Structure 1
């Protein structure tokens, strides 16, 4: 299967809605450092690897620092606490962060291929359908996009999360538990999924295709967004440029990402060529994105997963025209 060292080194494909021009924002006094949290995935990893953001901000005297996270929940905790200024995550983590009163805002979007998430079982497992998960031990990171996929996948079989034995495990811990046979199934996203599906010990029970949409978001610390909206505008614009260039040169992008992450090129190619994958689809927070996120917030509140009713629009950053 996949070991802890491999999973800690992984990097996945980030994708999004079609890139839109970002509005110019009235400039304020620039920060000395832009602190970015990243999960080693897609366009942000490429920007880190080629120094695009460092080059963009060099003339403005802004340094860029990077902090790595294994999943969205801890990244957003750091963001809300002001330990970092900007970072990416899936759809569910911002709901928990907002419910907890985190000081953060939605700043941009990107969309990945639904088939980039999957529920894995052991090759020799008797589990053959989602319905067979009833009463079984299923691992996913609580508050992550895998949580959302698990909820929706179970619903297709008339089940709820309460019908399984849920294990709240980070990707590295879940990978180790899966290998050791301590869990029956594992809900996970690329590139962990792309690595695992190439292993003879694992079998794909279901993917997210036809089950769940794949919205992801860039978020910013609320105080940083209020004071330095011009910096956010430049960050999103640069990521869109990096993504479009990478998408136009996939072979080279595969090689670059493999070098950055240590993940083999054949696995990177799987991630970047899944149906619907497009690194250049970085966008602002559109009405469609807000509507999707609000529906998800309402659903998770009704299921008593999120502890309070949320109004997503309350924490959406909108670039101001100069």
Structure 2
């Protein structure tokens, strides 16, 4: 298992990055910046405050937002040039890159230690990970929960072949879990925090001690290459928004809740997860790249993705501002 590392400065390690576009090419001529986001976190705060709009206004750039329920469809849109920028967990990019999507890693965010869980019903006979054998387990294929269930099963000397895996995103998995159509649900916040409030729900295990996680800010490859300063400014602004929000989590929970519709108490739970830090946005240093490479190698070895990936080939660093 890869362990948590310290957070490095945003642009540390830039010398090891891919070569930036030449000055002649990097004209930053875009007039629009299209963001894909999921409920919660720094993106919700930036959307509510209009921070990115204000940052890019002097350039005459229009900012638009598109909401997604999970990472895979967000990255599909990113690779297809339907959006320019977004954030997901560590697994969705592997599928997007394996499918040939034109997207690049531009920054990383360390995930909380316990922000995902495997949920079962309170009266379920499932008492340990070993008890998942032969059971119907729902998770979104290509999401961070895919990595979590693989690691969790491995810790119990099981594989995906030992369960009945069901590819369900949160909108479908939540009612299936509530109606006892599945035996276990592998899910991330805020859906995890919401479901866990039901007295009929029991947490079998969280990610803590089983698998670390990273989130990644990603951009459409062509957009990042042609508009490096715009991408750099957006990353910088998100880091500022996150750092400010981290200093007052009670107020931050109120703001995020108003934006996402997720109740304040639930939002506060997600913000208080172990290791959670809204302002922890950093460059992909060698350790982060090694983490993501190991994950890619595992998914290829398990024949989950169709080809081998070299993560360092698809890492891009914004220029210093």
User: Aligned ranges for residues 11-160 of structure 1 at < 5 Å?
Assistant: 17-21=7-11, 28-160=27-159
> Secondary structure at the residue paired with 1:305?
coil
Cα distance per residue 1:142-167 (max 9 Å; x no partner): 00000000000011100001110000
Task: State the shift of 1:245 in Å.
Answer: 0.0
Paired position in structure 1 for 2:17: none
Tell me by how many angstroms 1:289 deviates: 1.3
SS of 2:107's equivalent in the other structure is strand
Deviation at 1:113, TM superposition (A): 0.9
The alpha carbon displacement at 1:321 in A equals 5.6
Normalising by structure 1, what TM-score? 0.92
Contact 1:116 1:207 in 2 (8 A): yes
Distance in 1 (CA, whole Å) between partners of 2:290 and 2:147 is 16
How far off is 1:320 after superposition?
4.0
The runs of 4+ residues in structure 1 deviating greater than 3 Å are: 16-19, 21-27
Residue in structure 1 matched with residue 270 of structure 2 by the alignment: 271
Distance 2:9 2:250 in 1: 21
Q: Deviations over 1:78-103 (max 9, x none)?
A: 10010000000111111111110001
Output the TM-score relative to the length of structure 2.
0.92
| Cross-structure match for 1:250 | 249
Count of aligned residue pairs for this structure pair: 307
1:18 positional shift: 4.9
Contact 1:113 1:214 in 2 (8 A): yes
Distance, in Å, in 1 between the alignment partners of 2:7 and 2:218 is 15
Q: How far 1:201 sits from its partner (Å)? A: 1.5
Q: Distance in 1 between matches of 2:77 and 2:71?
A: 10
The equivalent residue for 1:161 is 160
Where does residue 318 of structure 2 map in the other structure? 319
Q: Deviations over 1:173-230 (max 9, x none)?
A: 0001101111000000011111111111110000000001110101100100110011
Gaps of 5+ in 1: 1-15
CA contact (8 A) 1:19 1:240 kept: no
